A and B are shown apart, each in its own frame.
Chain A
Amino acid sequence: MRRGTIIVIVFILVAGAIVGASQFLRSQPPLEFSVAVNPLAADWVRAAVNNFNASEPIINATQRVQFSVTVIDDLPIWQGSQAWTQENHPAAWIPASSASVSYFSDRYSLQTPSLARTPLVWGGYESRVNVATENGSQPLDWESVQRVAEAASWSAVGGDSRWGFFKLAFGRADQSMSGLAALFSGAAAFSSTANISGVTRSNEFRDDWMQPIVESVPNFQTMGADPAAAMARGASTVEIALLPESQWLLNLNGLTDDEPIIFSYPAYQFLLDFPLAVWNDTSEAAVNERAAVTALSAWLLRQAEQNALAQYGLRPAQGDPASTATLFAQAVDYGIQLQPDLTQIVQAPPRTEAQGLVQWFTNTVRR
């Protein structure tokens, strides 16, 4: 047999083997898993999971896997209203905070400490911020906000009487982790310490200090899921807010239409760090599930996916966003920093204490 013929035959055999293996793999249905993600990171995760699925990932050499995305905030999960079982649970969970994983540690354990980050940021319309900070003599932070909240009306603190009552915004703390994070940050500012264990239980913190602040939020329901977008309706709706940085960045265009907005980072920062957690099951039956989650985690930590975070207003798991990242770059003039001071990171209190604070919040809002 001539050499040319041999080459052709070998080529045909090899090609046939490749096609055959490929067709065999494709003919096997993929294992399907789901990942639950906090709304703040949902868009990024959804796009990344689409990319992951399109890459036709394989675990254990032969098994195809696919992920679907479910969006749910942290609180319904560790507060117990979301009943996940051994038979029905997301394989992976990406909450807004690793504190949530610790609060739900009987079901999920931490696999990846952080996939993305976003700090809390104060934002306020310039006219209001000037009054609250006494023309910049104080930072825009809890102390200045508490002073205005205590007074309730702007005229009492030297503001224009036509501004009426103080209109503050932050996430609803009994339903969203970003809202609870705001209370944690407030507790730290109140006690001048990042370790707030025990602080949130005190009546002095809750009823004397925080209650006027909570009561300064006009309408938790009208603001909806995105208080920054609500603030874009103008100062008649919201004047100052403490929100995740990503929400500010995504809504910046609408926020700067009428009056300049000023951003400021709280001295005591509760950082939302978006960890990845896996269902607690080390049995043989869960081997594929854990392998799939590991593969997904690796994918989300890829440079390409980490670089994409900035498009969603989020920071990478490590390092800072590029100076050319559009959303960040266009917000720098208003006070957003590529490298903010994140040295005083608030530690979340124990679960029981967090649950107590959430219940207090519900009771206060209901009044």
Chain B
Amino acid sequence: MLNTKRIFLILAILTLGILTACDSGSATPVVNNGGVTRPNNAIDVSIIYAPEAVLFLPKAIEDFNRAYASGKNPVTGQNLASGERPIFVTDLTNGRGGSSGTMMQGIVNAIIAPNNANVAKPVIFSPSVSHWLALANYQSGRQIFDLADIQPTALAPVVMAIWESRLNAIRAKVGSDEIGWQDLLQVLHSPNGWQDYGFSGRKTVYYGHTDPFISSTALSTLIAEFYASARANGFTGRRLGLEQVNDEAVQQGVRDIEQLIRHYSQRTTEFREYIAQGPDYLDFVALEENDLIYINQGKTDIQPPERLVALYPKEGTFWHEHPFGIVNADWVTQEQKDAARVFTQYVLTPEVQRVVMEQGFRPANPDIELAFPFVEENGVSPEGPATVLDVPAPDVIAAIQQSWSFVKKQADIMLLIDVSGSMESDDKIGQAKQAAEAFINNMEPTNRIGLAIFSSDVEFRIPLNNTETVQQQIISNIRGLRAEGGTELFDALRQTVEFMNEQTDEERIRAVVLLSDGADTGDQGVTLNDALRAISASRESLNPVIVIPVAYGADADINALSSIARTSNTRVQSGDPNNILAVLEIISSYF
């Protein structure tokens, strides 16, 4: 017989058992040690993004994935609801980012030219600026991106990063704090250049920006230059049109601005390192505001010798919004689009946006109050730009890009290659020939190129001439090069620089690209100082010859090449047979 107490005890145990049985339980989290394992039933979202976003996106992706792997919604912080699938984001750039223009072309190719070597199929494309999303629609003739649906994630206006001393000197001369392109040009047009502004030494102006087919900053800068030139030529409308872009006077105005260029480059992140070397290397460069903050916070390899400040040109500039564009294509399902929106929401959460701000971008979430590092001490104005330009229609942007080859500063380049006996080892000569050939193939048709070689003697194989005229000759010459003899490095450089000094067209970049693998062994009595004197002789002109030394291999004379670079206010580029192709490709982007 069961007494009352036992009955209740049994009932209590049974109740407990029932409650336990009724517990449907939750999904077991799947987390691997160290990394984040994709949950089995996750919705996959892939993303490609611009290089600047490397500062915040990889971490955001990892944290997002980690939350889902632990069974939590990263936006709400709650456990996943019944039926709610996790999302797994894959970074197709492997944490490095990619040039916006190249990635955009990859997406367009995936739709209209799927057999092309450059094909990209992400779910989310995040360039630095939405120009690329509109261009993708325009080039493909399809609505790859719903422009009304794109979401900014990090904000940065395009600025001219200029040395504070330079900007103050211009302001003092102009008598106003508001400075624009015409004021920058005025330095170049002044009889003694910077010397008329109180600076001793170099007269000429050194400006830099990247390639507008690849780089967002360069594209926005080129559009801004067209606006400035159009205004100077009487345009009073609010939005640039094809009429202004095709106007010869406007194009000449842009060409005038481009005369300030010292050299170009592939990526804005490279210019970030170049300008940090100081005013001797560059006076100002087009950057996103966050890059300027990066430099002023001492994060570059070389510490800048003085403060860079942000010039927001008075004619106007553009916001870069690092938008998330969700791709409309047959490789993206509606489920993936919805999942992409969830990731977008996550990037806009206060936690991620605070990281965005710490990295020098203005937060896209208006709830985050602007704070450090947006202080005057970092060279920026917390208020941001006073004038923002209207983005032209996609066909106008495309026309501006197409105009690039005939408004950019043209170049005269002598390729000076060491063919001494030591180049035979480790197949240095073989790799150098391939790289040199690729360098020549990358040259704009309007550049002038020439080839000189040296071993025990110096030989000018192909004199300077239009690329179209001599390209095949130079390539043919390069293919026939043999490595033998000594190293008349200093004499070769002296002769080549003197030759370039004699080229009287002062509206072209004048450059010597020197590839050398060893120390000078010459017996002509020409010293390093002789070579350096030749370089210095051109510095007084408004268009000095620049020498870009490439230290090729472990035995290259770094000391001598560094002296050459210092005198020329450039940097030694280091190469070896494994990477010389990439090194010369980067240098070819300077022109």
Contacts and interface: CB of A to CB of B under 8 A. Distances in A.
Interface of A: 2, 4-5, 7-8, 11-12, 15, 18-19, 22-23, 26, 30, 32, 39, 42, 47, 50, 53-54, 56, 66, 68-71, 73, 76, 81, 152, 162, 164-165, 167, 171-172, 175-176, 179, 215, 218-222, 224-226, 228-230, 232-234, 236-237, 251, 253-255, 257-258, 366-367
A222 B4 CA distance: 76
B3 A220 contact: no
Given A2-B1, A32-B83, A175-B148, A219 B391 contact: yes
Contacts of B387: 164, 236
B40 interface: no
A53 B22 contact: no
Interface string B2-30: 11101100110011001001101000000
B524 interface: no
A22 B152 contact: no
A74 to B, nearest CB: 12
A273 B6 CA distance: 61
A11 B150 contact: no
A56 B10 CA distance: 30
B396 to A, nearest CB: 11
Dominant secondary structure of chain B at its interface with chain A: loop
Interface of B: 1-4, 6-7, 10-11, 14-15, 18, 21-22, 24, 76, 78, 81-84, 130, 133-134, 143, 146-152, 155, 238-239, 316, 318-319, 321, 323, 334, 337-338, 341, 362, 364-370, 383-391, 393
A84 to B, nearest CB: 10
Contacts of A251: 366-367
A87 to B, nearest CB: 14
A4 B393 contact: no
Contacts of B367: 251, 253-254
Nearest to A47: B76
Contacts of B21: 19, 23
A237 B390 CA distance: 9
A4 to B, nearest CB: 5
A215 B24 CA distance: 58
A68 B83 contact: yes
Nearest to B150: A224
B220 to A, nearest CB: 11
A66 B386 contact: no
Question: Which residue, B4, B362, B364, B370, has most C-beta atoms of chain A within 10 A?
Answer: B364
Nearest to B84: A50
A219 B341 contact: no
B238 A53 contact: no
9 contacts: A8-B7, A11-B11, A19-B22, A50-B84, A221-B130, A222-B318, A234-B383, A257-B369, A258-B383
A71 B337 CA distance: 9
A331 B212 CA distance: 43
B385 A18 contact: no
Contact of A53 (B83, B152, B341): B83
A233 B151 contact: no
B366 A175 contact: no
Contacts of B4: 4
A22 B150 contact: no
B2 A225 contact: no
Across the A-B interface, give the 9 residue pairs with the lowest CB-CB distance, nearest first. Answer: A254-B366, A175-B148, A232-B366, A172-B148, A66-B83, A221-B147, A50-B81, A165-B238, A218-B390
Given A15-B14, A176-B148, A221 B391 contact: yes
B83 A220 contact: no
Nearest to B328: A81
A8 B2 contact: yes
Contact of A224 (B1, B7, B10, B152): B152
B334 to A, nearest CB: 6
Given A70-B334, A224-B150, A236 B82 contact: no
Contacts of B391: 218-219, 221-222
Contacts of A15: 14-15, 18
A30 B83 contact: yes
Contacts of A257: 369-370
A165 B11 CA distance: 79
A96 to B, nearest CB: 13
Contacts of A236: 384-388
A222 B321 contact: yes
Question: Which residue, A4, A68, A253, has most C-beta atoms of chain B within 10 A?
Answer: A4
Contacts of A8: 2, 7, 10-11
Given A8-B7, A42-B341, A233-B384, 9 more contacts: A56-B82, A71-B341, A167-B388, A179-B148, A215-B239, A221-B133, A230-B152, A257-B369, A257-B370
Given A4-B7, A66-B82, A220-B147, A233 B338 contact: no
B358 to A, nearest CB: 18
Nearest to A230: B152
B21 to A, nearest CB: 5
A175 B7 contact: no
A260 B76 CA distance: 31
A50 B75 CA distance: 13
B366 A11 contact: no
Nearest to A15: B18
A218 B146 contact: no
A71 B335 CA distance: 10
Nearest to B366: A254
Contact of B366 (A30, A71, A229): A229
B148 A4 contact: no
Contacts of B239: 215, 218
Contacts of B24: 26
Contacts of B83: 30, 32, 53, 66, 68
B136 to A, nearest CB: 11
B383 A222 contact: no
A7 B11 CA distance: 10
Contact of A171 (B148, B321, B368): B148
Nearest to A66: B83
Contact of A221 (B2, B150, B337, B383): B150
A103 B384 CA distance: 44
A18 B19 CA distance: 11
Given A53-B83, A70-B338, A221 B3 contact: no
Contacts of B370: 257
A171 B391 CA distance: 16
A47 B84 CA distance: 12
B104 to A, nearest CB: 14
B512 to A, nearest CB: 42
A71 B338 contact: yes
A152 B321 contact: no
B155 to A, nearest CB: 7
A171 B393 CA distance: 17
A179 B149 CA distance: 12
A176 B146 CA distance: 10
A32 B7 CA distance: 44
A42 B75 CA distance: 14
B369 A225 contact: no
Contact of B390 (A18, A162, A219): A219
A17 B319 CA distance: 65
A18 B150 contact: no
Contact of B81 (A2, A54, A179): A54
Contact of A73 (B11, B134, B148, B334): B148
A126 to B, nearest CB: 16
Contacts of B10: 8
Contact of B152 (A19, A76, A229, A255): A229
A175 B149 contact: yes
B338 A69 contact: yes
A220 B7 CA distance: 74
A258 B24 CA distance: 52
Contacts of A32: 83
B238 A224 contact: no
A101 B439 CA distance: 60
A255 B366 CA distance: 7
Contacts of A47: 76
Contacts of A162: 386
